[in-house]
Amino acid sequence: MNDRTCIVTRKTADADDLIRFVVGPDSAVVPDIKRNLPGRGCWVTADRLHVDKAAAKGLFSRAFKTNVAVPPELGGMVESLLEKSALGMLGLTRKAGSIVLGATKVETAVRNGTALFVLHAVEASPDGVRKISQARRATVHLGGPAIRAYKLFSEAELGLALGGTNVIHAAVLAGDAGKAAQKRMVALDRYRGGTPDDLAMLAAVAGEDDAAEDME
């Protein structure tokens, strides 16, 4: 039970790519997001699909070699914990002075390369997102960092975490606090299925640059 092998895929993986579960005093399966709860644990690939599959197929009882109670909304419970962790870290990042708010400031942080990643509220307008996406593409094109963008939270959730109102666009700046926040964004984004379109956009820009170099 100590090896980090997904009970669904039977493949070993890094701890950051898995979610640990333990059995509570009431014999119920409990997600251990921080990986610090006592007792024997089992591991599941860190996305909603695999957690739901493990619950539906009775794989937790098999892994723990005893009958365990699986909460009917285990997948949603894990997502809520990941959301809470991500929003809490955003609050700490704000206190560290490592966040800028507003479309103009976000675009500037992207273009000068100080932004580590960007957040858009789910209510963000296509036009607002487009302008910042253009800045992200331009930054990559000029040899700067590939700055990821996430649309994970509502305007209300971002406002509550960041202590503001009408928070539609935000940029988390590079630094230790920003890196800690990004780790939690990656975990939540991956659990929800990821943002392949966003990755494809940045990869396409890099590919265009490579092709241009080959033609020179």
Whether residues 27 and 88 share a domain: the answer is no
pLDDT digits (tens, 9 = 90+) for 129-180: 999 999 999 999 999 999 999 999 999 999 999 988 889 999 999 999 999 9
* Predicted model pTM: 0.87
Q: What is the CATH number of the domain that holds 61?
A: 3.30.1230.10
Query: Of 86-100, 105-119, 166-180, 182-196, which gets the smallest average pLDDT?
Result: 182-196
DSSP E strands: which ranges in 54-206?
A: 99-101, 115-121, 148-153, 169-173
Residue 33 forms part of a structural domain: yes
Once rounded to an integer, what is the mean pLDDT over residues 86-105? 96
Once rounded to an integer, what is the mean pLDDT over residues 28-39? 95
Whether residues 47 and 97 share a domain: the answer is no
Residue 65 forms part of a structural domain: yes
| DSSP bridge pairs for 117 | 148, 172
Once rounded to an integer, what is the mean pLDDT over residues 193-199? 69
Whether residues 164 and 61 share a domain: the answer is no
* The pLDDT of residue 1: 46
Whether residues 91 and 157 share a domain: the answer is yes
Whether residues 105 and 191 share a domain: the answer is yes
Whether residues 61 and 162 share a domain: the answer is no
CA 95 to chain centroid: 20
Residue 2 forms part of a structural domain: no
Query: Of 36-40, 122-126, 142-146, 208-212, which gets the smallest average pLDDT?
Result: 208-212
* The pLDDT of residue 165: 84
* The pLDDT of residue 120: 97
State both tokens at 60. 């937790």
Beginning with the edge strand found earlier in the chain, give each strand of the sheet holding 99-101 in spatial order.
Answer: 99-101, 169-173, 115-121, 148-153
Whether residues 60 and 111 share a domain: the answer is no
Whether residues 91 and 68 share a domain: the answer is no
* DSSP designation for 144: -
Once rounded to an integer, what is the mean pLDDT over residues 191-212? 61
Residue 4 forms part of a structural domain: no
Band the pLDDT of 43: cuts 50, 70, 90.
Answer: very high
Whether residues 132 and 44 share a domain: the answer is no
Residue 3 has pLDDT above 80, yes or no: no
Whether residues 170 and 200 share a domain: the answer is yes
How many separate domains does the chain show?
A: 2
Residue 39 forms part of a structural domain: yes
Q: What is the CATH number of the domain that holds 123?
A: 3.30.1330.30
Task: Report how far residue 212's alpha carbon sits from residue 113's, in angstroms, rounded to the nearest whole number.
Answer: 23
Residue 78 forms part of a structural domain: no
Residue after which a domain boundary falls, among 38, 72, 106: 72
Output the average pLDDT for the chain.
90
Range of the domain at 59: 15-72
Whether residues 87 and 42 share a domain: the answer is no
